[in-house]
Amino acid sequence: MQMQTRYSTLPWQSRKLRDRIWLSGVLIWVSLGSLMFMFPLFWMLSTSLKTNEQVYTVPTVWIPNPIAWENYPTALGRMPFWLFVRNSCITSFVPVIGALLSASLVAYSFSRLRWPGRDFWFMVLIATMMLPGQVTMIPVYVLYSKLGWINTFFPLIVPWFFGGAFYVFMLRQFFTGIPMDLSEAALMDGCSHLRIWWSLILPLSKPALATVAVFTFLGTWNDFFGPLLYLTNQRLFTLQVGLQYFREQHGVYWQELMAASLVVLMPTLVIFFIGQKFFVQGITLTGLKG
């Protein structure tokens, strides 16, 4: 009886052992992958704290000694840093507001309302995602030139108030997962569709809205080509164009360039970690229904 009990527990113990080995292997693999992706950030931080001699030392100096903290104020003092910060905030936070309002309103129409041609126009909207930016770049530039928007922030801000195909699609998929009974009950209570969109749908869609906000902020904050194409006045430069201006005006001082780049990178890291919880929920829940 004792031998039977002992042998009957062996498969269960073996399965637990295999699960632990599998989990340990996954953790090791993920840890190695994380270190690989964090290596460029560590390289930037290390280089930003080196002296000019340590940058070109062979073999490579991984931990600076002495630490050159003065690289940061020196790098930021070589360009109108706070002016570039203001410009980047304008061209990043305003588009976030525009993307949230316009994409959610259009997605509400496609997901909660019934109107003739709805499915057809939704397919047309999705088809626009197949057009690369290089195809529309020249016609859009000519349009903005005719409007007198070149060398202003309008080309970087106004398009975000007309929705985006990807964001509309993502929010539409999320909205279809919200029960229609809620909207019907609100309509019976006398609420308009705008009131339902603002007071009912948006509060229930915080994960998806946070995902849109994070994507929009990261895209606009890190955008280099748009400001480079439409802005020619130095007082309108964003931080990304400002880094290129820094390199052209003062040459390649790697320690100072890495210091400035790391400062420019910090807001994106902060925003991502703040909205990480909602961001992951939005990606996970979007598309489960509809």
- Whether 17 is covered by a domain: the verdict is yes
Q: Are residues 99 and 191 in the same domain?
A: yes
Token duo for residue 89: 């905030």
Token duo for residue 139: 């016609």
Q: What are phi and psi of 76, to 5 degrees?
A: -70, -25
pLDDT of 280:
61
Query: 177-227, pLDDT tens digit by residue?
Result: 888 888 888 888 888 999 999 999 999 888 889 889 989 999 999 999 999
Listed residue (288, 290, 159) closest to 230, CA to CA: 159
- Whether 65 is covered by a domain: the verdict is no
Question: What is the distance between the alpha carbons of residues 121 and 88, in angstroms, rounded to a whole number?
Answer: 34
Helix, strand or coil, per DSSP, at residue 191: coil
pLDDT of 147:
94
Q: Across all residues in the chain, what is the average pLDDT?
A: 85
pLDDT of 21:
84
Residue 99 burial (C-beta neighbours within 10 Å; 0-12, 13-18, 19+):
buried
Q: What is the rounded average pLDDT of the residues 150-170?
A: 93
Domain that holds residue 39: 2-48
Q: Are residues 44 and 87 in the same domain?
A: no
What is the pTM for the complete model shown?
0.81
Query: 215-233, pLDDT tens digit by residue?
Result: 999 999 999 999 999 998 8
Write the CATH number for 247: 1.10.3720.10
Per the structure, the count of domains in the chain is 2
Query: 20-79, pLDDT tens digit by residue?
Result: 888 888 888 888 887 888 888 888 889 889 888 888 888 888 888 888 889 899 888 888
Query: 277-287, pLDDT tens digit by residue?
Result: 666 655 555 44
